Amino acid sequence: MNIAGVKEYLGAEWTAVQGRIAGSLESDIDLLDQTNRSILSHAGKQLRPMLALLAARACSADGHASEATVRYAAAAELLHNATLLHDDVADDSDQRRGVPTIRSLMGPTVSVLLGDYWLVKAMELILGEHEADSKVIRIFSKTLSDLAEGELLQLQKAQSGDTVEEDYLRIIYSKTASLFEASCVSAALSVGASEDAVEAMRAYSVALGRAFQIKDDLLDYDGTESVGKPLGVDILEQKMTMPLLGALVNAGPQEDNRVRALVKDIVGHPEHRDEIVAFVKANGGMEYASERLDFYVNQAVEALAVLPESFEKTLLVKLARYTANREK
């Protein structure tokens, strides 16, 4: 799928979102302004605002997004980047999207402060004159709560080493799918969509978010350096993701206990990483995760059935399929 082509198709509405993002971050403090501009120059795919505009158009009676859609879409991208700035500190990340992180260049304090700044600007964007604004504030507030809970649950499970698939699905909902959900549901509300359409976008976005994260976790085991971050970092951070969980299911209780012990001990013995990767690949972990990925992609596509046919709906389907096939 040609992401650049989708942005071109969205035209003036996409341009308006970019303008809202850039305008909200302008500051007369040179250091802040220049740093924000640097981050925006490495903006990534910007899937969340893209999804928001497509969702609004697909749910709208006239096939167009609204002024509120543009604000909510821009807010979703700001909030996403705020969480990345915070995550880079929590994870001691030196690289993001193939370039050095703010944490590595300017220190953790600056990264946290910038994350806070972007977060506040996101919330300011949501507040306008649309009747859905107050509801959308609550949606984004819930997302922030989900993100914090997901991060802490992941930390707890990294320490205990007892992650099971139910835990993993809760973590990836909280850390990834919840913001996809906020993006798409707020967009549907911004155009006065029916309750059925709003719920369809909720189901689509949650399934899509889970699929997106499972694909990321597969790439961590078997991707390329084009992913924009070092490979194999999940194991080194004691994160038990879908490929490893699938391999543990296939291998049986004795191997389950042995490999979990290796993961818990990885901080003191990083050399165990290669053994764990080999275990995952030898015990069908990649295949297991790929099957779960396909399940959620199909779930996302099926959720769109209640929406009328449109080119935007077709693009939403293609975006779901793209999630499974992307290489970074």
Each residue of 181-205: pLDDT tens digit?
Answer: 999 999 999 999 999 999 999 999 9
Tokens of 36: 């924000």
CATH architecture of 46-72+123-325: Orthogonal Bundle (1.10)
Let me know: does 66 contact 190? Beta carbons within 8 Å: yes
Q: Is the pLDDT of residue 68 over 60?
A: yes
Band of residue 225 on the pLDDT scale cut at 50, 70, 90: very low
Q: Is the pLDDT of residue 87 over 70?
A: yes
E strands of the chain, at which residues?
95-96, 99-100
For 51, 281, 289, the CA distances from 222, given in Å and listed in that order, are: 27, 9, 12
Each residue of 269-323: pLDDT tens digit?
Answer: 999 999 999 999 999 999 999 999 999 999 999 999 999 999 999 999 999 999 8
Tokens of 309: 């046919």
- pLDDT at position 196 is 97
Let me know: does 141 contact 241? Beta carbons within 8 Å: no
Report the mean per-residue pLDDT for the chain.
Answer: 93
The rounded distance, in Å, linking the Cα atoms of 79 and 180 is 11
Helix 3-24 / helix 67-90 crossing angle, nearest 10 deg? 80
CB neighbourhood size of 160 (10 A): 12
Q: Is the pLDDT of residue 75 over 50?
A: yes
- pLDDT at position 278 is 93
- pLDDT at position 206 is 98
Does residue 222 or residue 213 have the better pLDDT?
213
CB neighbourhood size of 128 (10 A): 14
| Size (the chain), residues | 328
The rounded distance, in Å, linking the Cα atoms of 184 and 73 is 9
Band of residue 30 on the pLDDT scale cut at 50, 70, 90: very high
Band of residue 228 on the pLDDT scale cut at 50, 70, 90: very low
- pLDDT at position 126 is 94
**Stretch 236-250: mean pLDDT:** 95
Band of residue 235 on the pLDDT scale cut at 50, 70, 90: very high
Question: How far is C-alpha 217 from the geometric centre of its chain's CA atoms?
Answer: 12
- pLDDT at position 226 is 44
What percentage of the chain exceeds 70 in pLDDT? 97
Tokens of 61: 């009676």
Band of residue 29 on the pLDDT scale cut at 50, 70, 90: very high
Place of tokens 């193939």: 98
Band of residue 43 on the pLDDT scale cut at 50, 70, 90: confident
Tokens of 252: 């049986």
DSSP label of 98: T
**Stretch 106-134: mean pLDDT:** 92
Q: List Cβ neighbours of 170 (8 Å cut-off, separation of 6 or more).
A: 150, 153
Each residue of 255-277: pLDDT tens digit?
Answer: 999 999 999 999 999 999 999 99
Let me know: does 300 contact 211? Beta carbons within 8 Å: yes
Spans of all domains in the chain: 46-72+123-325
Band of residue 328 on the pLDDT scale cut at 50, 70, 90: confident
The rounded distance, in Å, linking the Cα atoms of 66 and 60 is 9
Q: Is the pLDDT of residue 227 over 60?
A: no
**Does the reported pTM lie above 0.85?**
yes
* Nearest residue to 70 (alpha-carbon basis) of 138, 3, 23, 134: 23
